Structure 1
Amino acid sequence: MASSTSVEQTTVPRWKIIGPGLVVAATGVGAADLVATLIAGQKFGYTLLWCVVVGCLMKIVLVEGAGRYSLSTGKTIFEGWRSLGIWTTWYFAPYIVIWGFVYGAAAMAGTGLALQGLFGGLSTTWWGIASGLIGLALVWTGRYSVFEKVLAALVGIMFVTMVGAALLTLPNLGELLTGLAPRIPDGGLVNTLALAGGVGGTITLAAYGYWLREKGWSTPTYMRVMRIDNTVAYVVTGLFVLATLVVGAELLYSTSVAIESGDAGLLDLGLVLQDRYGQWAGKLFLLGFWAAAMSSLVGVWNGVSLMFADFVTIVRGGVSEDADARAGGKWYKAYLLWLTFPPMAMLFLGKPVWLFLAYGVLGAFFMPFLAVTLLWLLNTDRTPVEWRNKLHSNVLMVIIALAFLALCVNEVRKAIAGA
C-alpha cells in the first residue's frame, strides 16, 4: 500500500500538490504585515530586501518541521506539545482564547477598511462585520476542498494586484539587487527583525499539520509532497512581500511620502497610487489589500478553530481522531463563534488596553515557543529516528529561535511601556 501511494505522488502534476502550504502562507500575510513591509520600504528603500528572503527561509524551516512532525508521527502539534509537559497547556489555553478575541476584531476591521475604501457606503465597522459573517459561512461546515479553493482565489488576487502595482512603479533593478546584501541600517534593527518575522504568519504556522490532515496527507509517504508544497507556497509569499517592499521603496522612500502605521496606511498608499496613476490603480491596490486581509480572516477562522477543537478535545481526555476534534465538530464551531461575534463589540466600543497588553505579550512569545518546542520534538524519541532533525535543521532552528527571542523581548518591552 505504501509503495503504491509513493508512486501515485510522483505521477501527480506538480500544480495539483500545492495546497496546505499556500493556505498557511496566505493566512499569515495580512494587512498588518503589508503595512510593516511598506514602512520598511518607506524608511530604508531596498536596504532590507534581504530580510524578505531570510523571513521566507525561516518560515520554510519552521513549517517543514511542523509538517514533518505531523506526517512522521500521525499526531497533531498539540499532542506533541502536550507530551512536553503541562506547562504547554498553561501557556496555550489563555493565548488561544485572548488571541482569538483580539484577532477577530482586528481581522474584521482590516477587511472592513479595505471594503470601505473600495465601495464606500457602509462604515468600516459594518463592512468588517459583514466580512466576519461571510468568513463564518465559508468555513462553518469545515469542508477543506471549498476552503482551499477560496484561499487560492484570494491569493491569486493578492499576487496579481500587488505585483502589478510593483511593476507599475518601474523599480530600479540595480538598487533592488543591492538590497540582497545583508546589512542593518542605523535604527533599523527592530524593522529588520519585524520584517523577517512577519513574512507569513505566527500561530497559523502551527495549523499546517491540521491542514495537511484535512487535505488527506497523513503519512510519511507524503513527506516529499509536503516539502514541495511548503517551499512553493513561501516562494510565492516572498514574491508578494517583495512586491510590497518595491512599492514602498519606489512610491514612498524615493518621494519622501509618509504613511500612517496600522491598516490606515494602506488607504494612504491607495491614494498615492490614485494620484500618480489614476483612480483605477488605487482601486486595484485596495482590491489586493482586501484579498490579503480576507485571506487571513478566512484562514484563521478555519485553521485556528481546528487547533482549538483539538486542544479542547485532548484536554478533556479525548484523542485527535474524535469527531469533536475535527472540522465541523462542536468545538470547532464554538471557536468560530468566539472569533466572530464577541469581537464585534470591540469594533463599536474601542480597544481595552489590558486586553491588548495581554495579547501583545502572549503573542510575542509564540514564535520562540514554536521554534523551541519543534527543536525538542524533532530531536527526541517523540519523532521516528529517520525523520528527526539533521545538523543543518538544528542550526537553522536555533538561529530562528534566537532571532524570535530577540523580537519577543522587544515586543514585550514595547507592550509594557505602552500600557
Structure 2
Amino acid sequence: MSEIAATPSYKGWAGIKRAFATPSALTMALLGFGSGLPFLLIASQTLSTRLRDVGLDLGSIGLISLASFFYLLKFVWAPLLDRYAFPLTAFLGRRRSWLLVSQVLVLVGLVALAFVRPEQGVAPLVAWVLVASFAGATQDSVVDAYRIEIAPETAQAALAATYTLGYRIGLILAGAGALYLAQYEGWIVAYLAMASLMLLPILTTLLCREPDQPVQAVQRRIDVREAFLQPITGFFKRNGVPLAVALLAFVGLFKFPDQVIGVMAGPFYLDSGFDKADIATVSKLFGVWVGIAGAFAGGIAVAAFGFRRMLLLAALGVALSNLAFLVMACNPGQLWAFYVALSADNLFQGFAGTVLVAFMSSLTDRNFTATQYALLVSLANLPGKFVGGVSGYIVEATSYSMFFILSSVTVVPTLLLLVWLWPRIGDHQRAAD
C-alpha cells in the first residue's frame, strides 16, 4: 500500500479521480472501517439498545453512556502520539505503532464485552467500556493524523471521503449486523463477530506505509510539558485569542442537537414498538447508506460553495431533522414513519459530518496534527455527550416528543456564533487556501 513517488495534481475532476485511485485512499477506507466498527458497540446506540433489551431503565442507560468519555478527552494524551512511538511496536513507526496497539486493545475489549452480563451488575461492563473507549479514541486520533500526513492537502477531500465510506460501513456492521445477530443468535455471538472484524484494520496497519515524519517544531527534542502546551498555545497564536475561543465554541456546539439525542435513539426505537431486526434494517442499514450519500453531498458542496454557507445549512439541517422524530412519536410502530425520520436524520448527519471535518481540517496546524485535530473532535462531541448522559432523565420527566423539540432549539447558540464568525471564517478560509 505504498504511495506513488511523485506528487501529482489533484485539481479538477481528473485530479479527484486520481486522488481516489491512490493506495492511500484504500488505506483510509480500511482504517476508517476500524474506527467506525467499535463506536456503536461501546459508546452509542448498539450498546444502549443492548442495555434496554436486558431491562435497564433509561436513566441508568444514559449514565452508563458516560463511561465512553475517553472519546471526548483524546486530546489529553494526543501530544504523546505526536511526539513518541509506542515502545513495544516502535519498529512500525510513530503512527503505526500506536495504531496496532490500539486496534488490538479494541479487539480485546469487544471480546470481553461479549461475555459481561449487565442485567447482573453493570460494573464489569463499565470497566470494559472504559478500556475499549480509551483504545478506540486513541485509534481515532492516530487515524486522523495519518490521514492528514499521508497525502498533500489537495488530496485530503478524497481521503476524507474514503475514510467516511469505511467508517460508515463499520457502522453498518456494528449497527445492523450486530442487531441482526443479537436478534437471532444473542448478544455474545454479536460482539464476538464484531471483534473478529477488527482483524481487517489490524492487517491494514501492518501492510500500509508510515507517513514521512515532518521536520517541525514538535519533532525537535522538547520536554513533555512543552509537547503538551505547544499545540494549544500554537492554535491561539495562529488565530488570536478572541477568534480561537469563538472557533472552539462553535465546533463544540455545531452538532449539539444531534449529540443530545444519540443515547436515547436506541431505546426510543424499542419503545416505539420496533424489534431489533426492524432497527437493524431501518436505522443501521438503510439509514447509514443515506448518511454516506449525505457525506459525499457535503464534500461536493464544500468544494463548490466553501465553508460558510454550508456550515449554516448543515447546522440548520441537523437541528430541524430532529423534528422528524416527531413523526415516529406520533405514529408508533409504523415503518413508514421510521423511514421518514431516519432519512432526514442520517442525510443531515452525513452532510454535517463532512462539512465539519473539512472545516476542522482547515483549522489544524500540521506541526501538531494529532493533538489539534483531537482537541477539535473532542470539543465537537463534548457538550452533547454530557447532556446525553442525563437525557434519559429528561425523557422520563417530559416525553420523547418534548425531548426532540428541545433538542432542536439548542441550535440557537450555534447560529449566533456563526453570525459573529461569518466574515472571519471567510478570511480564515482564504488564508488556508
Higher relative contact order (CA 8 A, sep 6+): 1
Decide: shared fold, TM above 0.5.
Answer: no
Between Structure 1 and Structure 2, the one with more helix by share is 2
TM-score if structure 2 supplies the norm length?
Answer: 0.29
TM-score if structure 1 supplies the norm length?
Answer: 0.30
